[in-house]
Amino acid sequence: MKYILIILLIALIGVGIFAHYYEFQEENFDQKVIGLCILTFSFIWMPLFIYYRYKDKKKEDFILSNDKLKEMNDFARKE
């Protein structure tokens, strides 16, 4: 999964750069290609990346509770 994400990211950036600098005969074709790259990045690459990074994490680690707030306050007071 890690290598698929890296390859897809490099491909999206490469196609975007290529479309930006290459002159196409059709009008605004480069803007359409860049737009498709951005949509692909937003709706395919980013959800895959988020799933890959957080698939083995516990939800409780990301939720603020009273205990965690007290712990953060105590840590801030020590400094």
* Model confidence pLDDT, tens digit, residues 27-62: 888 889 999 999 999 999 999 999 998 888 888 778
Residue 79 pLDDT > 70, yes or no? no
Q: What distance in Å separates the CA atoms of residue 11 and residue 6, rounded to the nearest whole number?
A: 9
DSSP 27: T
Alpha-carbon gap, residue 54 to 66, rounded angstroms:
23
pLDDT at 60: 79
DSSP codes, 1-60: -HHHHHHHHHHHHHHHHHHHHS--SSTTHHHHHHHHHHHHIIIIIHHHHHHHHHTT--GG
With a pLDDT cut of 90, the percent of the chain lying above it is 43
